[in-house]
Amino acid sequence: MRDAIAAAMSRSKHEIPHYYLAHTISLKRALAYLAELNAKRPIQERILPGALLLRAVAVALWDVPELNGFWIDGAFRPSEEVHLGTAVSLRTGGLIAPAILDADDKPLDQLMAELHDLVMRARGGHLKQSELTSATITVTSLGDRGCEAVWPVINPPQVAIVGFGAVVERPWVEGGTVVPHPTVVATLAADHRVSDGHRGGLFLAAIDHLLQEPAKL
């Protein structure tokens, strides 16, 4: 597996002109919404913040579709579907990124259920071939490892990857007053042959906007 990862990442850094952006997002409203939602549910049906982040990424791609697709034979091929590759670390070592298919069409409850199922089957070696080959963009997170930001490498032939760090309390200006807010650093690595920093910035801003109105997700 390390050989396969090395080959893919070496190809990515050699062939793809990456550009990187970062955006710090307040999760005060999003976490309050989840707390209220989960208070009415049994533990096994509660929604984790990760599912809300995935949903925000999937919906934000509607505004910046050039981040969703593939670079093949010298040209960009956009995807009409949003299949979110979700990076999963394996207990035996290594990393795979199976896809949640049609993530933008699925409500938050279904997305959470499919995320849990996908992680369990990935670690148990029971993934479908379509889940391993269909991702149109990848999302990775190292927040559970305490990393505040991750600068990921694009998985070719995809043209973008999104990273999320740990949820960290930071000083935030609210109504002219500095108060603590739970925040997350969202990062984007994208292919400069397909998009530029302006469009990438709009994408991260769209994720931020969606997370400020979590009930609409």
Active site residues: 192, 196
- Is the previous residue joined to 157 through a cis bond, with omega within 30 degrees of 0? yes
CA-closest candidate to residue 160, choices 36, 73, 60: 60
Q: One-letter amino acid identity for 85?
A: G
Closest to 199 in 3D by CA, of 73, 53, 78, 19 = 19
Q: Which residue, among 162, 60, 48, has the nearest Cα to 108 in the 3D structure?
A: 48
> How many CA atoms within 13 Å lie on the side-chain side of 82?
22
CA-CA-CA-CA torsion sign (137, 33, 181, 205): positive
Strand 99-100, strand 69-72: pairing: unpaired
Which spans in the chain are helix H? Answer: 2-15, 28-38, 49-60, 108-124, 129-133, 197-211
The CA-to-CA distance between both ends of the chain, in Å, stands at 36
